[in-house]
Structure 1
């Protein structure tokens, strides 16, 4: 009964959170394709897949390590500030290298890998650098919300993300401004997430 009372809200929060996350992830390409055509929609899709794949793979590896050590430290001491700050430092360092590389070489990267016709994807990648760099940092650290059993915070964040995405992509903005506001808005939400999880990691 104790474990039921403690963990029965996990599926209540995880199901809608996962649904909103999926909608937020798929909506940009769908709306851009409908509004601006298959060329821009395909360019955006290629950019998001190309940048998202390595971040997802590396982030999963970092998450597995962070989950174990942060969980152990939190159970023993009621906080996990040390492992959180160490992880934040290394993630930020590699995210900075990733951002610098993309800023200077994204156009070359996309045209070399996929052909000159995908130059637009390289240009989109430059605009989305803050989003993907901060995603690389925030995603593994966000698991702390589950360690401290504050899943409702994730729901609030996912709701804000979905509303932001809907507001931007169903606006009348031109494509370039739409992508810029999307990158800025997402980046701000990731910074908020990092601040929230940092506060959760500290001793009470």
Structure 2
């Protein structure tokens, strides 16, 4: 009886229901991609994944700045007239950014490929501007759909993305031994989602298009200039802190280390995309209203508790099993990727908590704090990997994982301070979960150490 009462209470909770819809769609998409990874690791080599890692690093860093971060401002205006003008600001900025990158690639593709240590990358860089445009559009349209509470539409596009990407990667992989299939698949991934959301928004919100005014866009650009001034630099620093070390590893590490790292990151970032991404979108869609009601602290604490209870133990169990499971699932040549997954567990666990509630810094107009945090993270992570390349070239990935854990721990503490969530209150309520998680992780580390030295 108690179970059914609790279930009804969850169903009545708008936040939980919205998260469930997004998680459901993202879960289907993630399952599709994860189930196909064992096939992709046999169709493509670790070297192919290394080329893909550099392409994705460039796409991630550039696309986050392509919209000037105006997508984060879409949920904030009280009326839809201003919101749709902000949406088109983001889309126009994305188109301009993609055009500029296309010009750079046209003139300097060979030089860029040599700089990144992957000479054959020059044959695939032409895809990058297309990927940047679709990525920016999809991000902006997601926030518009979130504002309109159309979370089921976002969930559907996640599945469309997975089917499109998987189909392209498998089809090309059977007929071509090159990274092109992997790269085109990632581009289709963003493209399918953007087209799907744009079509739905046009059909439902067609009347809102009459509210578009160039002079109003200029006014809103000035009103929300904190986003290009601070949030864009913050997002750029955040993605650069994650992706620039990958480029360094691809350029300097011996063998296809970047390919192993990419596979590990794709698997470990799945919980971030599955749970963290969904919670983040819903958190931002509700946080402005809750902030105005003076309840942001309780809302943030409840969000953190839910993330710990749902995500931490499965994440740690998967990480601890990775060194055993990877050679079986993906092939013997991918054993190193399983070890990397284990080392990444503390980093990804803390990121899973910090990333969704980081939106509180935007809601509370603390964009300068967010920007400073991300730049400190950029210096820490890139600096540590670059310096380690001189003395520990075979341990760059381990250094990268440790700096990720340090950065997101500091970030989580700062956001909790801003939202007035007491760290001790959180720890007291999740102490048993944390104890089990730490024990499982240490057992995995002991196994890897014994395997290495004995």
Shorter-normalised TM-score: what interval?
A: 0.7 to 0.9
Query: Which string of whole-angstrom CA distances, capped at 9 and with x for unpartnered residues, describes residues 164-184 of structure 1?
Result: 122111122425643333323
State the partner residue of 1:167. 383
1:84-124 Cα deviation digits (max 9, x unpaired): 11111121223421343134311244334321210100001
Is contact 2:271–2:311 with CA below 8 Å preserved after alignment? Answer: no
* 3-state SS, counterpart of residue 365 of structure 2: coil
Shift in CA distance, 62/176, structure 1 to aligned 2, threshold 3 Å? farther
Q: Is the 8 A contact 1:99 1:130 kept in 2?
A: no
Report the equivalent of 1:39.
256
Asked if the contact 2:319/2:342 (under 8 Å) is kept, the reply is yes
Structure-2 residue corresponding to 1:121: 337
- If asked which structure has higher relative contact order (CA below 8 Å, sep 6+), I would say 1
Please list every run of 5 or more consecutive structure 2 residues that lacks an aligned counterpart in the other structure. 1-218, 422-454
TM-score, normalised on structure 1?
Answer: 0.87
d(CA) in 2 for partners of 1:19, 1:65: 22
Alpha-carbon separation, structure 1, partners of 2:340 and 2:257: 10
Equivalent residue of 2:256, what SS? helix
Please state whether the residue corresponding to 1:93 is helix, strand or coil. helix
**CA offsets, 1:14-45, max 9 Å, x none?**
22223223322222222112222342121112
Q: Shift of residue 5 of structure 1?
A: 6.5
Q: Which of 97, 119, 140 lines up with 2:356 in the alignment?
A: 140
User: For 1:21-32, what aligned pairs fall within 5 Å after superposition?
Assistant: 21-32=238-249
Q: 1:183 — aligned with what?
A: 401
Cα distance, 1:16–1:68 mapped onto 2, change above 3 Å: closer
Query: 1:175 and 1:94, CA in 2 relative to 1: closer, same or farther beyond 3 A?
Result: farther
**Residue by residue, what CA displacement relative to the aligned partner does 1:152-172 show, whole Å, maximum 9, x if unpaired?**
111111111111122111122
Q: How does 1:18-167 map to 2 (within 5 A)?
A: 18-77=235-294, 79-167=295-383
The total of aligned residue pairs comes to 202
Runs of 5+ consecutive residues of structure 1 not aligned to the other structure: none
- Of the structure 1 ranges 100-109 and 193-202, higher mean CA displacement relative to structure 2 is found in 100-109
1-structure distance, mates of 2:330, 2:386:
30
Distance in 1 (alpha carbons) for counterparts of 2:356 and 2:394 = 30
Following the alignment from structure 2 to structure 1, what is the Cα–Cα distance between the partners of residues 332 and 384? 29
**1:196 aligns to 2:414 (yes or no):** yes
Judge conservation of contact 1:110–1:122 (CA < 8 Å) in 2: yes
C-alpha displacement at 1:6, in angstroms? 5.4
Q: Which moved more, 1:163-172 or 1:132-141?
A: 163-172
Does 31-40 or 85-94 show the bigger shift?
Answer: 31-40
- Contact 2:326/2:338 (8 A) holds in 1: yes
Task: Report whether the alignment pairs 1:17 with 2:234.
Answer: yes
TM-score by length of 2: 0.41
Greater radius of gyration (CA): 2
